[in-house]
């Protein structure tokens, strides 16, 4: 039996009630970090991040097949780089499987970018909401395929998928009888309603994360019963039982994606030597605290004293993630390689007197004003010559008001 | 320390010189400088040269200058100090003479901005000024660097976009009569305010154009200047100032501390005050930067720059005319050449021969700020009419 202590969810602010769209600065890793941080915040156990011993990321949208997502994921979550990360390719059934096979102190995160974006994370612990594996069936009905190079083929027969895929698999598992599922993840709302008992929870995605969004809904409603997840003809089921999981949802109401232009041009160059030097402070959002003076430097740096002595002795310390806009601009001319317009702000972080230069996220370009409050969030700030470049962006607290 | 004077000055027009390379522009500017020397120049008199170029078009700069200007027998030093390159080249050359090392030296500045596709310029030039890991990927393009300052300045000061527009209108008007200027047409405040937005709060007409060009100055020790002219322009003060490079490290973004430091050094060397300045060429790469610079240079109290433009004080005919050449805004801005060309303009202003003459100008000030906003150079010049009564 698995005990889920906390569940965090994240939906991008862009899109419509029908489904969310990832921002241009978001990918499966940044979505996963948002959900994972929400789960850690939901657990709220003093030093919950310190309790996590393993991370499993389930997605079919891993940003890098080679080159590594794990370091960014751990840094974004504020977890130790020695923690094991498993990256699993899969949909909703794989997310449920990851949950039921997880040992205590595993963070299971599922993230989707297409067709709808969202992520959810479950923190498996020693106590919490009981989840027991109930059924599993792998069948092949590859109505949609994607090759290693990303080429997608659609067979184009939704009724075949429904009849010979999900329904046939559920029937062979005996899930259509008296003990109907409370929720069915991995399918659209209409199909879920046709299969489930009562009125199943509305789920914002149809991929891996939908299984954990369903679990969050059951945890909030305190319903006990079967939860199924499907992907094409493959199905997994669990039984959700007693116990309580804290749920924290980062789900701002959806807004239309702002108009944006992408100007092709030369690839934005990257120096991986510079990337490597900056990585820890940049992706963990940590300043260098000078040993002698206690002063904070962001980015961390060596200093030279008045006596000419070199001071290299600094320790990395986390920076506050809230602050106020000191100044900001909006770039409206086309800049090759970046979607325009975009806003850049200098944010004065609370309490420490440290300022950071950051792109604005989660708000229409041009709406963030001097004095606005917000928080710093991990985003993919650029893709440079094939390398996703992660850093922190400023997300205004009240983007709608700023826009008004 | 020996006194130093400018005895010759020349420049190419600033323009999109698609048909002229750096190897063409340099000898053109040099020849015009030589032709301006009242009593003539024997190139063999030149003992050293300093060359300000921000980029490295068509090869390494010192060699290009020596080769194209026939100066293979003298040392040539490349100076690069961001947009303060031009006036810093002047400063280095002044030290060469003031120290007693040389009597006659050449200062040149040039750049070929339009050698790249305009859409590629952003990343190429940002790569020269930004931290590769931290700032560069965010798209902090050149106008954004200055806009971060000006946005805060507009927030704290009574100045508005209308005051910025008045700077653009003034400098465009000044450029109309300047045959060397790139944008020789009048504009209105309404045109500036209604122009397409580049980087808020800068519209198209708040921004300098992208320019190619070259400029040259012949410097001589004051005690040998009469070999070349009876009307030398003395270099009274030079100053260079620096500041923290990353914008997030600048505590007060409504001012450029680099300019304050450079001006302090130059005024101290000259024994002059801002009130002594009769005409100034100020770094107006973006209109709001000219306003902030009025305050940093001491032409007005803090946050009162708007009053100068409202009163027309910085127009030709006003009490402290700024950018009679049209400035970077309308004359153009090939960065390495810009500061040198400011001194070319002041050489003419202080000798009474400028195309847009400020009556009776005695003391001139040239100013650059760049890096972006982490380096500034200021040069103070004095015209020949006043040479006899100047303090020493």
* pLDDT for position B385: 66
In this structure, what token pair is assigned to residue A370?
């001097």
* pLDDT for position B315: 98
- Please answer yes or no on whether B148 and A370 come within 8 Å at the CB atom: no
d(CA B147, CA B202): 7
A210-252 tens-digit pLDDT: 999 999 999 999 999 999 999 999 999 999 999 999 999 999 9
Give the residue on B whose Cα is nearest the Cα of A381: B138
Report which of residues A74 and A148 the model is more confident about.
A74
Report whether pLDDT(B389) > 70.
Answer: no
Report whether pLDDT(A393) > 50.
Answer: yes
Report whether pLDDT(B339) > 80.
Answer: yes
**The architecture CATH gives domain A2-250:** 3-Layer(aba) Sandwich (3.40)
- State yes or no: is B83 an active-site residue: yes
A257-268 tens-digit pLDDT: 999 999 888 788
At residue A403 the predicted structure's pLDDT band, cuts being 50, 70 and 90, is very low
Give the residue on A whose Cα is nearest the Cα of B201: A329
* pLDDT for position B56: 86
B111-166 tens-digit pLDDT: 999 988 877 777 777 777 788 899 989 999 889 999 999 999 999 999 999 999 99
Question: Do A214 and A203 contact (CB within 8 A), yes or no?
Answer: yes
- Please answer yes or no on whether A344 and B148 come within 8 Å at the CB atom: yes
* pLDDT for position A45: 58
Please tell me which of the candidates B127, B151, B248 has its beta carbon nearest to residue A329. Answer: B151
Report which of residues A337 and B27 the model is more confident about.
B27
Q: How far is B201 from chain A (nearest CA, A)?
A: 7
Question: Do A116 and A205 contact (CB within 8 A), yes or no?
Answer: yes
- Please answer yes or no on whether B131 and A299 come within 8 Å at the CB atom: yes
Please tell me which of the candidates B134, B149, B249 has its beta carbon nearest to residue A282. Answer: B134
- Please answer yes or no on whether B133 and A357 come within 8 Å at the CB atom: no
Beta-carbon contacts below 8 Å between A and B: 109
* Span B318-333, average pLDDT: 98
Give the residue on B whose Cα is nearest the Cα of A300: B134
Torsion of CA B146, B150, B151, B157, to 10 degrees: 170
At residue B391 the predicted structure's pLDDT band, cuts being 50, 70 and 90, is very low
Report whether pLDDT(B308) > 90.
Answer: yes
Report whether pLDDT(A68) > 50.
Answer: yes
B148–chain A Cβ distance below 8 A for any pair: yes
Question: Do A392 and A358 contact (CB within 8 A), yes or no?
Answer: yes
B228-266 tens-digit pLDDT: 999 999 999 999 999 999 999 999 999 999 999 999 999
Please tell me which of the candidates B134, B139, B149 has its beta carbon nearest to residue A278. Answer: B134
Please tell me which of the candidates B133, B151, B199 has its beta carbon nearest to residue A332. Answer: B199
Cβ-Cβ contacts under 8 Å, A270 against chain B: 132, 137
**The architecture CATH gives domain B4-115+209-384:** 3-Layer(aba) Sandwich (3.40)
- State yes or no: is B285 an active-site residue: no
- Please answer yes or no on whether A355 and B248 come within 8 Å at the CB atom: yes
In sequence order, what DSSP letters do the residues of A232-253 get, joined into one string? TTEEEEEEE-SS--EEEEE-PP
Residue to test with chain A: of B120, B125, B127, B139, most A Cβ within 10 A = B139
- Kindly report the pTM of this predicted structure: 0.94
* Contacts of B36 by beta carbon, 8 Å cutoff, 6+ apart: B8, B9, B10
- Please answer yes or no on whether A328 and B151 come within 8 Å at the CB atom: yes
In the set B83, B207, B285, B343, the catalytic residue is B83
State which H helix or E strand residue B65 sits in: helix B61-68
Kindly calculate the radius of gyration of chain A based on its CA atoms and give it in whole angstroms. 22
Of A85-89, A263-267, A337-341, B363-367, the poorest mean pLDDT is in A263-267
* pLDDT for position A174: 83
Residue to test with chain B: of A277, A284, A344, most B Cβ within 10 A = A344
Please tell me which of the candidates B134, B196, B200 has its beta carbon nearest to residue A366. Answer: B200
- Please answer yes or no on whether A275 and B133 come within 8 Å at the CB atom: yes
Q: How far is A42 from chain B (nearest CA, A)?
A: 31
Report which of residues A48 and A318 the model is more confident about.
A318
Report whether pLDDT(B7) > 50.
Answer: yes
| Domain edges within chain A | 2-250, 261-403
B70-121 tens-digit pLDDT: 999 999 999 999 999 999 999 999 999 999 999 999 999 999 999 888 777 7
At residue A49 the predicted structure's pLDDT band, cuts being 50, 70 and 90, is low
For chain B, give the mean pLDDT: 95
* Through-space distance between the first and last CA atoms of chain B, rounded to whole angstroms: 11
- Please answer yes or no on whether B155 and A331 come within 8 Å at the CB atom: no
* pLDDT for position A292: 87
At residue A402 the predicted structure's pLDDT band, cuts being 50, 70 and 90, is very low
Measuring CA to CA, which residue among B283, B305, B243, B276 is closest to residue B380?
B276
Residue by residue, what is the 3-state secondary structure of A88-109?
EECCHHHHHHHHHCCCCCEEEE
Report whether pLDDT(A401) > 60.
Answer: no
* pLDDT for position B388: 38
């Amino acid at each position: 039996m698995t005990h889920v202590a906390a569940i965090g969810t994240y939906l991008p602010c862009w899109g419509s009630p029908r489904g969310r769209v990832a921002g241009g600065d978001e990918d499966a890793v940044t979505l996963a970090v948002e959900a994972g941080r929400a789960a850690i915040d939901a657990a709220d156990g003093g030093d919950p991040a310190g309790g996590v011993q393993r991370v499993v990321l389930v997605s079919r949208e891993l940003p890098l097949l080679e080159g590594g997502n794990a370091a960014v994921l751990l840094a974004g979550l504020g977890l130790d780089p020695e923690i094991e990360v498993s990256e699993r390719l899969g949909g909703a059934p794989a997310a449920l499987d990851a949950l039921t096979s997880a040992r205590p102190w595993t963070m299971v995160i599922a993230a989707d970018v297409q067709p709808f974006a969202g992520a959810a994370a479950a923190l498996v612990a020693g106590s919490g909401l009981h989840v027991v594996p109930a059924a599993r069936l792998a069948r092949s009905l590859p109505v949609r395929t994607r090759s290693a190079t990303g080429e997608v083929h659609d067979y184009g027969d939704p009724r075949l998928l429904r009849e010979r895929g999900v329904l046939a698999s559920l029937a062979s598992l005996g899930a259509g009888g008296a003990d109907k599922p409370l929720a069915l993840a991995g399918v659209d709302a209409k199909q879920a309603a046709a299969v489930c008992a009562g009125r199943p929870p509305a789920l914002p995605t149809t991929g891996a994360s939908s299984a954990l969004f369903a679990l969050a809904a059951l945890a909030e409603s305190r319903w006990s019963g079967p939860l199924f997840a499907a992907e094409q003809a493959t199905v997994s089921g669990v039984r959700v039982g007693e116990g309580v999981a804290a749920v924290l949802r980062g789900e701002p109401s959806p807004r239309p994606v702002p108009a944006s232009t992408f100007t092709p041009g030369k690839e934005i160059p990257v120096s991986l030597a510079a990337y490597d030097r900056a990585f820890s402070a940049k992706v963990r959002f940590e300043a260098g605290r000078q040993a002698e003076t206690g002063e904070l430097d962001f980015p961390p740096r060596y200093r030279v004293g008045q006596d000419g002595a070199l001071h290299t002795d600094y320790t990395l310390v986390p920076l506050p993630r809230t602050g106020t806009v000191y100044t900001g601009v909006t770039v409206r001319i086309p800049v090759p390689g970046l979607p325009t317009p975009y806003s850049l702000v200098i944010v004065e972080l609370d309490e420490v007197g440290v300022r950071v230069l950051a792109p604005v996220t989660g708000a229409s370009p041009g709406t963030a004003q001097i004095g606005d409050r917000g928080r710093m969030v991990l985003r993919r700030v650029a893709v440079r010559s094939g390398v996703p470049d992660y850093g922190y962006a400023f997300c205004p607290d009240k983007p709608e008001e700023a826009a008004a | 320390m020996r006194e130093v004077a400018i005895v010759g000055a020349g420049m190419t027009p600033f323009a999109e010189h698609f048909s002229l390379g750096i190897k063409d522009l340099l000898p053109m500017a040099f020849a015009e400088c030589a032709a301006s020397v009242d009593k003539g120049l024997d190139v063999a008199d030149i003992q050293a040269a300093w060359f300000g170029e921000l980029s490295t078009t068509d090869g390494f700069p010192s060699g290009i200058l020596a080769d194209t200007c026939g100066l293979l027998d003298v040392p040539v030093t490349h100076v690069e100090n961001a947009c303060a390159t031009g006036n810093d080249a002047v400063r280095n050359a002044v030290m060469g003479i003031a120290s007693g090392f040389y009597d006659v030296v050449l200062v040149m500045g040039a750049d070929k901005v339009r050698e790249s596709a305009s859409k590629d310029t952003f990343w190429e030039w940002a790569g020269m000024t930004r931290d590769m890991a931290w700032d560069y990927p965010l798209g902090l393009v050149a106008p954004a660097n200055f806009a971060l300052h000006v946005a805060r300045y507009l927030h704290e000061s009574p100045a508005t976009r209308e005051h910025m527009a008045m700077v653009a209108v003034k400098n465009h008007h000044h450029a109309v009569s300047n045959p060397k200027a790139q944008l020789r047409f009048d504009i209105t405040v309404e045109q500036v305010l209604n122009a397409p937005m580049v980087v808020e709060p800068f519209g198209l007409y708040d921004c300098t154009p992208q320019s190619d060009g070259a400029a040259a100055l012949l410097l001589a020790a004051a005690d040998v200047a009469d070999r070349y002219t009876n009307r030398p322009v003395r270099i009274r003060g030079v100053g260079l100032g620096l500041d923290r490079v990353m914008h997030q490290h600048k505590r007060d973004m409504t001012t450029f501390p680099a300019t304050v430091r450079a001006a302090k050094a130059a005024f101290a060397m000259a024994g002059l005050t801002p009130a002594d300045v009769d005409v100034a060429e100020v770094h107006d790469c973006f209109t709001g930067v000219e306003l902030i610079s009025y305050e940093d240079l001491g032409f007005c109290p803090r946050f009162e720059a708007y009053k100068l433009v409202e009163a027309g004080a910085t127009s030709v005919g006003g009490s402290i005319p700024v950018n009679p050449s049209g400035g970077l805004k309308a004359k153009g801005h090939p960065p390495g050449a810009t500061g040198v060309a400011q001194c070319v303009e002041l050489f003419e202003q202080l000798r009474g021969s400028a195309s847009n003459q400020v009556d009776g100008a005695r003391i001139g000030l040239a100013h650059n700020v760049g890096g972006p906003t982490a380096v500034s150079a200021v040069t103070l010049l004095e015209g020949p009419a006043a040479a006899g009564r100047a303090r020493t």
